[in-house]
Every structure is written in C-alpha cells, then in structure tokens.
Structure 1
Amino acid sequence: MKKNILKNLALGLMLLFAASAFAQDEAVPFAVADKAPAYPGCENLSGEVLQDCTSQKIINFVNANFDTSLGKKLGIVGSTRIVVQFKIDADGNTTDVRSRSLDNDAKVRERLQTEANRVVEKLPNMKPAEKEGKKVAILYSLPIQFEVPKTTEEKN
C-alpha cells in the first residue's frame, strides 16, 4: 500500500545545485564531494555504489516512516508533491530540514510539510561526506510524490 501512496519516491535524492534557503558557506554540492555521506550499512562502499546505497536507504527510510494515513485524513484525491531539502552536516547529522508541498490546499500543504520534516529529521546519523580529506556538509533535495489511489467505487 505504501508503495502506491508514495509512488515515485524512487525519483531519488536529487542534488541541490541551485541557490537555496540554506546557508551554503559550509556545505558543498554532492557532485563536488570526493566521498558521499554513508548511511548505516553503506560505510564500506565507495563511488557511485556508495551514493546509490545511501540514496536508496534514505528513500526506504522515508517510505517506511511517512504517515500514509494522512491522505485519507486530509481528503487528498490523486497526487501531490512535496520537496524536502536538508543538509547532512560534517558530523553526519541531518540538519536544516525544510519542505515545500505543492498542494493547492493550505491545510494539506502544512500537514504534508510537517510530516515530511518529521520523517527526515529522524534519519539516523551517517558517516559524513568528505572533500580533500576533510569532513564536509552536503545539501540534498528529496522529491516525494504522494499519491492516494482511487478506490474501486471512485473508479466506476
């Protein structure tokens, strides 16, 4: 059921290249880091395999912990999108979590943003990224496509 509701979460973690609301004085873009942050269980990997492992584990964590009952509670019909931006700091902590829902309804936007922030803030501590042998903060953007499938009655 969660796979249907959070369809397209596998769009994955996208690099936040453009200017954002984050203070970028200490954070580097993902592509510039020599070594990506490592989610628990990915620490012994390197290169693209490390990036893919960390991204997939973050996606799985969000998918498993997002309160999918919000769709029914909020009366969402169809799909809506939430973009969560966050930083994995030089200590491996998830910080500066911000989200933006693209839903038209202000109440729905607020609840989805709050839920997305809650889940991302619970991410486990990770091994930080490195640039030139130094631990650095990395910026991420995670798009979430939240879908509520139509029931059989609504389809007919």
Structure 2
Amino acid sequence: MQVKKNPKVDLNRNSGLYFVIGLTVVLFLTWRALEYKSYPSDTTTLDIAQAVDDLKEDVPVTEIIKTTPPPPPPAAPEVIEVVEDTEEIEETIIESTETSQESVIEEVIAVDDVEVGEEEEDIVVPFAIIENVPIYPGCENAQGNDERKACFQKMIQAHIVKEFNYPESALELGIKGKVFVQFMINSKGHVEAIRTRGPDKLLEQEAQRIIAALPNMTPGMQRGKSVKVPYSIPINFMIQ
C-alpha cells in the first residue's frame, strides 16, 4: 500500500513565492544602503573668557609704508662765473626794541584782569582700581562698585553673544582662534580706540564690529571727575 502525502503539509508548495519575497526585500535593503547619504553638520559656538584687566600686549604692525628716497641734489656746474655786484642796495636800519631801566611803562595790567584757562587733561585710570566704574545701561540700580563691575562684565558678555555673527568666509575656510580686544571708554562714556589682535583679519573685523556697537555709558569717575577707563576682553571663535 502506497502512502499518500497530504497537500496541506507539503513544505515545497510555496517555496518559490517565499524565495521571490526574500529576494525582493534583500534587493530593497541593498539599494537603500547604497543610496544613503550623510552630511556633516557644522555648528558654531562662542566662548567668552573672563575680562583681563589692563592687557599689556602690543598690537603687531601689519603694514609698513615705504617712502621713496628724495632725488639727489643737482650737480654743481664745472665753471663758476663770478658776477660783479654793481647795484646799490639801500640798507635799512633796524631799531632796537629792547627796553632799558629808564623806560617808563605807560600801561599796567592788573592781575585780576588776566584770565587763566585750565587745560583739561585726559586721565586714564585702569578698570580694576577706579573708584566708580563706568555704568552700563541697565546697571544703574547696582549698589557699590563691586556690584557695578559684575553687572558691567555680565552686560558686556550678553552684548557679545547678541551681536555675534561668525563670518561665512572664515567658517568655510575653517578659521578659528582667540581675538584679544582692547578699547577705551572716554570721559563722555563713548567707546573709542578699539584695538584687536587675532589669528586672522576676518575674525578681527568681526570682533571690532561687535565692540563698536556698544551703547553709550555713564563714564567712570575718579575723585569726582570723569576719566578714561581702558577695558580688555578676549573673544574665542570656535567651530564644533
């Protein structure tokens, strides 16, 4: 008697279909793996260091102006002709303007009539030792010189973060580094004499633009008089 197989338990019944489905899935995954692309993401970060009081670093000279030498003097003639002076010249008598003891002073000026003008001197006091530091807008309610210093430094850093814009050219070229900035707050509260020193001109120009955008402040006071106050801060340009 021959044993007959039940068609429901035949393992090879749908093997072709399963093979086609598996082959399709493998080809799809292989195609997606070959077409997959990834792009590196560049993010810029700004690192602001603490303020450095009285930064004594000389800014290097970046450009030397060369002047052309003066032309040589004209050569003397080989033969010198002597011409006799036949013209008569009238001599002028110069009278002496000196006064002697016998001279009489007709007009006497009183001491009270002389006005003496006081010449204002530009006094520079470092930020670390000044009696009253410059007041940044928004720090008027700070009590004491120490609180005003802390508020001043905080507002300066907030201004740099707000105005910061990484130069696109420097970002494409991968230029980064630290730029040292030094500027002066004059006796009227305006920012002037901005000096920068960094690894590249693009970063120096951006740092100078940020500091030039600072608002007008209440000037620093020393012994009840407005004075100039220098301030220094490094700005670190980083690419991550």
Superposition TM-score tier, normalisation by shorter sequence:
0.7 to 0.9
Give the deviation of 1:19 after TM superposition: 7.3
**Aligned-partner Cα distance in 2 for 1:63–1:96:** 22
Q: Which runs of 5+ in 2 are unaligned?
A: 1-42, 60-121
**Aligned-partner Cα distance in 1 for 2:194–2:148:** 22
- Matched-pair identity in %: 32
Question: 2:171 corresponds to which residue?
Answer: 72
Q: How many positions carry a matched residue from both structures?
A: 134
- Structure with larger Rg: 2
**Aligned-partner Cα distance in 1 for 2:212–2:131:** 25
**Aligned-partner Cα distance in 1 for 2:173–2:213:** 23
Question: 1:100 corresponds to which residue?
Answer: 197
Query: Given the superposition, is the C-alpha separation of residues 133 and 17 from structure 1 closer, same or farther in structure 2, using an over 3 Å criterion?
Result: farther
Tell me the TM-score normalized by structure 1: 0.77
Question: 2:220 corresponds to which residue?
Answer: 129
Aligned pairs for 1:1-156 (under 5 A) are: 5-7=45-47, 9=48, 11-16=49-54, 18=56, 26-45=123-142, 46-70=144-168, 71-76=170-175, 79-101=176-198, 103=199, 109-149=200-240
| Structure with more relative contact order (C-alpha pairs < 8 Å, separation 6 or more) | 1
Give the deviation of 1:55 after TM superposition: 0.7
Give the deviation of 1:44 after TM superposition: 2.5
**Aligned-partner Cα distance in 2 for 1:44–1:129:** 16
Hey, which of these two has a bigger chunk of strand by percent?
Answer: 1
Residues 96-127 of structure 1, C-alpha deviation per residue, up to 9 Å, x if partnerless?
001000x2xxxxx1011111111101100011
Residues 6-50 of structure 1, C-alpha deviation per residue, up to 9 Å, x if partnerless?
12x0x22221154767xxx63211122101111100022221110
- When the two chains are superposed, the root-mean-square deviation of aligned CA atoms in Å is 2.1
Q: Which runs of 5+ in 1 are unaligned?
A: 104-108, 150-156
Tell me the TM-score normalized by structure 2: 0.52
Query: Given the superposition, is the C-alpha separation of residues 128 and 120 from structure 1 closer, same or farther in structure 2, using an over 3 Å criterion?
Result: same
**Aligned-partner Cα distance in 1 for 2:182–2:127:** 13
